[in-house]
């Protein structure tokens, strides 16, 4: 899963790099990503399942990032036995009107697949501290600049007829600090006092977020596949006992 700060996200890192500063990003799961999961992703959990993954591109997720998200999700399920195809589409209709509710799929699934997974992302909150950024540039980033944003991820899983088997909504916050002092201090702490799971520099944020994101996605699709498989099973055959004519005096 790729993430971005804003449509002008490259500007802030470019300015920070120009001033020889570093970026420290803190990942904070808010809704959904903290839940425990039971599925083991190393087994054949989706053997024989024909799966389509659709990643909606938009202001938050650009074409290349949507393709990367679909490719990574595809590898997750294909490694567990599924036959996967991916596609990227425009913003799912009605996204602005739903205000956080899972949305309908942009294109209905077809008969060549068993289940279709729709992923759509959007920014729900973004904030930059103007005062901190002024002080940061005035002090050559000794005072760190700070940017914060929260994004939402909506997921639906449907069958070839469009019947909904699972849906979920996740939210996560990223707080980014840019400054040579804050990066140097965290780099030092990461390599002296902190455990590897507590590191803040390097790819720690991306690692932790990807771990939670794909674990929850794996569990959600597995739950949908289980419901779908149960509904496909034929009803049990009930065998009635033979009539005992003696009870009627015959």
- Digit-coded pLDDT (tens) for 168-179: 999 988 888 777
Using CA atoms, how far apart are residues 90 and 113, in angstroms rounded to an integer? 21
Q: What are the pLDDT digits (tens) for 14-71?
A: 444 444 447 778 888 888 888 888 888 777 889 989 999 999 887 667 778 888 889 9
Does residue 168 lie in a domain region?
yes
Does residue 247 lie in a domain region?
no
Does residue 50 lie in a domain region?
yes
Does residue 100 lie in a domain region?
yes
Is the separation of the CB atoms in 123 and 59 below 8 Å? yes
Does residue 6 lie in a domain region?
no
Q: What CATH code is carried by the domain that includes residue 146?
A: 3.40.50
Q: Say what the pLDDT of residue 53 is.
A: 93
State how far the alpha carbon of 236 is from the alpha carbons of 1, 35, 219, 239, in Å: 42, 35, 28, 10
Residues for the chain: how many in total?
250
Does residue 248 lie in a domain region?
no
Q: What are the pLDDT digits (tens) for 223-234?
A: 999 999 888 766
SS (H, E, C) 155-215: EEEEECCCCEEEEEEEEEEEEEEECHHHHHHHHHHHCCCCCHHHCCCCCHHHHHHHHHHHH
β partners of residue 125: 150
Structure tokens at 142: 């000794």
Domain housing 88: 19-231
Does residue 250 lie in a domain region?
no
Total domains, the chain: 1
Does residue 238 lie in a domain region?
no
């Amino acid at each position: 899963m790729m993430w971005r700060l804003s449509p002008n996200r490259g500007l802030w890192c470019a300015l920070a790099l120009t001033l020889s500063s570093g970026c420290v990003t803190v990942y904070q799961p808010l809704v959904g990503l903290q839940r425990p999961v039971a599925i083991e992703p190393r087994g054949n959990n989706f053997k024989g399942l024909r799966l389509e993954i659709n990643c909606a591109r938009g202001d938050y997720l650009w074409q290349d990032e949507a393709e990367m998200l679909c490719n990574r999700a595809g590898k997750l399920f294909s490694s567990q036995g599924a036959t996967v195809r991916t596609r990227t589409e425009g913003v799912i209709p009605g996204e602005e009107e739903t205000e956080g509710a899972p949305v309908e799929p942009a294109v209905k699934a077809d008969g060549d697949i068993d289940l279709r997974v729709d992923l759509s992302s959007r920014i729900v909150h973004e904030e930059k501290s103007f005062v901190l950024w002024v002080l940061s540039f005035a002090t050559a980033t000794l005072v760190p600049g700070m940017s914060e944003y929260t994004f939402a991820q909506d997921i639906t899983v449907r069958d070839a007829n469009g019947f909904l088997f699972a849906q979920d909504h996740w939210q996560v916050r990223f707080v980014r600090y840019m400054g040579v002092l804050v990066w140097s201090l965290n780099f030092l702490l990461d390599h002296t006092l902190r455990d590897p799971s507590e590191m803040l520099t390097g790819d720690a944020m991306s690692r932790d977020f990807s771990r939670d994101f794909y674990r929850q996605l794996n569990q959600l699709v597995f739950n949908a596949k289980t419901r779908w498989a149960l509904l496909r099973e034929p009803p049990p055959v009930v065998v009635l006992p033979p009539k005992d004519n003696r009870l009627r005096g015959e």
